[in-house]
Amino acid sequence: MRTNTASVLGVSRTRTERLVNLVICLLSTRRFLTAAQIAATVPGYEHDPEDPKDHEAFQRKFERDKSELRELGVPLETGSASVFDTEPGYRIARRDYALPDIPLAPDEAAAVGIAGRLWQHAGLAAAASSGLAKLRAAGVDVDPQATLGVEPIVRVDPTFAPLTAAARDRRTVAFDYRVPEQDGPTSRRLQPWGVVCWRGRWYVVGHDLDRAAPRCFRLSRVVGAVRLTGRPGAYEPPRDLDLISYVARFSGPIERTGRTTVLVRKGRAAGLRRWAQETVPGPEVDRVVLRYADVDFIATQLVNYGPDVRVVEPPEVRDAVIQRLKETAARHESPVLA
Amino acid sequence: MTPGAVRPSADRLGRLLNLVPYLLARPGIEVAQAAGDLGVTERQLREDLELLWVCGLPGYGPGDLIDMAFDGDRVTITYDAGIDRPLRLTPDEALALVVALRMLAETPGMANRDAIERALAKIEHAAGDLAGAPVAVRMPGSDDRLATLRGAVERGRALRITYYAQTRDQTTQRVIDPIRLLMVEGRAYVEAWCRRAEAVRLFRADRIDALAELDEPANPPPSAELHDLRDGVFNPGAELPLITLRVGRGGRWITEYYPCEDVRPDPREPDEWIVTLRVTDLAWAQRFVLGLGPDATAVSPPELVERVRDAATAALDAYAAPVTETL
């Protein structure tokens, strides 16, 4: 009896039902089908082609349905049914539609399941879960409980998705960029090559059109929306591109050739003691030796502890600390009003 | 297309196109289990099945429509009308999975990296042209240290750790009941019940100076609640003290590293910014301001201004006196 309810009675159908039937119909045909042929076949498109109003309503409905299928990623092909046909025809090629077979071993499936959960707090969460649903539909069993021992928590900036899409489509973008050391944002034009996550921060790397040179930008410093200003495929990133190399500047291991001796009050400055080369305990203070690479940097570390730490040698570290203390004391001399 | 921008009807269509191959791969699956797997209610799943039951190939006769057999609570697809495979991955789906797998493969101390890399290769193969996601990930960190911590967490033992608590500038011994190992913003943390604090705490891996596995099992109380890390590791609560600093150009970086309540240029001296943030305690704030040196001035509370001034003056007085072993 269901045949009747499905096609003969022509009762009002849900849009989804019509779309499922449209997909099945277009998958099953090798020839391109014109809109008129589809209307005559697929339930839900019944109309009177002679009635201009009715026909127009059908055309609008069909356009909406096509764009909904494309939105979902259904590869709708357009072509001519025959040399005599002037109307465009449609079909869906099975090889373009179907997800290829993915023979995942159980441990691989577990890894994919964990990967899909990474985005739980971030922008690609919906895409990750619909991607996982497709893998499940392909017969992959994803264990929702599996863990790999270390759980990365991924956070991305809101500009991650548009910048990645622009890099993928090779489209020039423009955005406002604020660096804290500068007073206001500046407008930048970039041909993005890719997006990099380095030490938990996100960057976009590309050809900066204003500087005419490769540049990287921190995503958290982009102010407002990313504007697409160019056509897709407008440029080619360099061959053998190593995105990470633009963000991470390796200077090799830091050489700590300096040696400073400081007196540290008993039970204080635990943060310094962790890096001590040697510690000679005394009755009230301990004599601690630290290695350092840069005078200003070690001075910053030592000055944190105020009177709990006192530099004995060398003079340049001692002087740098005293200089900083003097400036801080002067800045806090009189009460400052907000 | 922005992720999640699909219309609800398209959402349902996507679900239905998936449902047939999903069931086809699992003949005789219980409806309840399928619903749980697919993240829908049982009722929703039954409605989806009813809808599919009236869809099929042109002709729409008994042999053309999608058909299924019910056996109690179990369902088997007996005719698929040609939708026997799921739809290929969209660019965003491929991106989400490929980037996440790259991230897992890059996470230090990860178990079974080999499986992650094999999975990545297969997903990239299935995604075809879309696999060339223009996203690179690098997460430096000590593999050995994390592997040790992971082993300890996996064996489910309580741990005695020597931990440097940076906010209090103290190195302490404590016994913790580990719950999980996390990577957040490029840093590794052990989330554990701390028996000393009697609360769930995040311990930064690089501040665990020593570690010993105890002979007793890790046993966090059932009431232990995991951190919500949606907004990062440090989520200052409204009960924490507010401090206000005036920072020069060279100190503006703090606004990117610490969550700030308010940042605005000083109307009288636009080069200087007035920055308000919450801190765990004023002793930490004192060290913070002293460390910023010429780039920062404490503005409020008055107690902080006083502490910074007193610490700097006392230190200077000590330098003015001859060096002794007493400070």
pLDDT at B3 > cutoff 80: no
- The H-or-E segment that residue B164 falls in is strand B157-165
Confidence band (pLDDT; 50, 70, 90) for B58? very high
Residue A149 has pLDDT above 80, yes or no: no
CA A281/CA A278 separation, integer angstroms = 10
What one-character-per-residue DSSP string does B230-269 give?
TT-S----TTSPEEEEEE-GGGTTHHHHS-EEEEEE-SS-
* Domain A2-97, CATH number (from 3.90.1310, 1.25.40, 1.20.58, 1.10.10): 1.10.10
Q: Domain residues of chain B, as ranges?
A: 8-79, 91-131, 155-217, 242-320
Helix (H) or strand (E) holding A19: helix A15-28
Q: Does B158 score more than 50 pLDDT?
A: yes
Distance from CA of B259 to the nearest CA of A (A): 13
Residues of chain A in contact with residue B57, where contact means CB-CB under 8 angstroms, are 24-25, 28
In the predicted model, what is the mean pLDDT of residues B127-141?
77
Tokens of A277: 């080369």
Fold assignment, A160-247: SH3 type barrels. (2.30.30)
Top pLDDT among A248 and A309 is at: A309
For chain A, give every domain's residue range.
Answer: 2-97, 100-155, 160-247, 258-331
pLDDT at A6: 40
Mean per-residue pLDDT, B65-88:
94
**Any CB–CB contact under 8 A between A226 and chain B?**
no
Confidence of residue A3 (pLDDT cuts 50, 70, 90): very low
Contact B109 A119 (CB under 8 A): no
Dihedrals phi, psi of A331, to nearest 5 degrees: -65, -25
pLDDT of residue B325: 57
pLDDT at A26: 97
pTM of the model: 0.81
pLDDT for position B62: 85
CB pairs under 8 A between A and B: 416
Angle at A21 between CA A17 and CA A24, to 5 degrees: 140
CA A39 – CA A22 distance, rounded (Å): 10
The per-residue pLDDT for range B226-268, each reduced to its tens digit, is 888 777 777 788 889 999 999 998 899 999 889 899 999 888 8
Class for the domain spanning B242-320: alpha beta
What's the rounded Cα separation, in Å, for the pair A57 and A255? 75
- pLDDT reported for residue A154: 80
In DSSP terms, B300 is beta-bridged to B244
pLDDT at A12: 36
Q: What is the mean pLDDT of residues A278-292?
A: 93
Task: Extract the tokens encoding B258.
Answer: 């610490």
| pLDDT, tens digit (0-9, with 9 covering 90-100), for B274-289 | 999 999 889 999 999 9
What average pLDDT does the segment A76-81 reach? 88
Q: Round to whole Å and give the CA distance between A91 and B82.
A: 14
CB atoms closer than 10 angstroms to residue A327 = 16
Q: Give the fold, CATH level 3, of B155-217.
A: SH3 type barrels. (2.30.30)
Contact criterion met (CB < 8 Å) for B96 and A127: yes
What is the DSSP track for A253-293? S----EEEEEEEETT--HHHHTT-SEEE--SSEEEEEEEES
**Chain B CB within 8 Å of residue A15 CB:** yes
**Least confident among A67-81, A250-264, B204-218:** A250-264
Average pLDDT over residues A202-230: 94
| Partners of A223 in the β-ladder | A176
- Please say whether the structural domain B8-79 has been given the CATH code 1.10.10.10: yes
Residue B79 per-residue DSSP state: E
Please determine, for residue B269, whether its predicted confidence score (pLDDT) is greater than 50.
yes
Interface contact B209, partner A, CB < 8 A: yes
Residue carrying the six token digits 């897709």: A232
In chain B, whose CA is at the least distance from the CA of A202? B137
Residue A172: its pLDDT value, please?
A: 97
Average pLDDT over residues B11-38: 93
User: Can you name the residues that pair with B69 across neighbouring β-strands?
Assistant: B76
Q: Residues A21-66: pLDDT tens digits?
A: 999 999 999 999 999 999 999 999 999 989 999 999 999 999 999 9
HSE toward the beta carbon, residue A241, CA cutoff 13 A: 21
> What mean pLDDT value characterizes chain B?
88
Computed over every residue of chain A, the mean pLDDT equals 88
CA B123-A172-A248 angle, to 5 degrees, is 60
ipTM, 2 decimals? Answer: 0.81
Least confident of B14-18, B83-87, B187-191, B231-235: B231-235
Q: Which residue blocks in chain B are alpha helix, DSSP H?
A: 8-24, 31-38, 42-53, 91-106, 113-127, 143-155, 254-257, 282-292, 302-320
Indicate the residue of A112, A148, A248 with minimum beta-carbon distance to B111: A148
Taking contacts as CB-CB distances below 8 angstroms, the residues of chain B near A148 are 104, 110-112, 116
User: Distance from B71 to chain A by nearest Cα, in Å?
Assistant: 20
Q: Which two tokens stand for residue A207?
A: 């050809």
Candidate from A145-154, A221-230, B311-320 with smallest mean pLDDT? A145-154
- Give B295: exposed, middle or buried? Use CB within 10 Å, 0-12, 13-18, 19+: buried
d(CA B242, CA B281) in angstroms, rounded, equals 9
Asked if the model's pLDDT at residue A7 lies above 60, the reply is no
- Please report which confidence band the pLDDT of residue B8 belongs to, taking 50, 70 and 90 as the band edges: low
Q: What is the pLDDT of residues B135-156, one digit of tens each?
A: 888 877 767 778 888 888 888 8
Residue B32 pLDDT > 90: yes
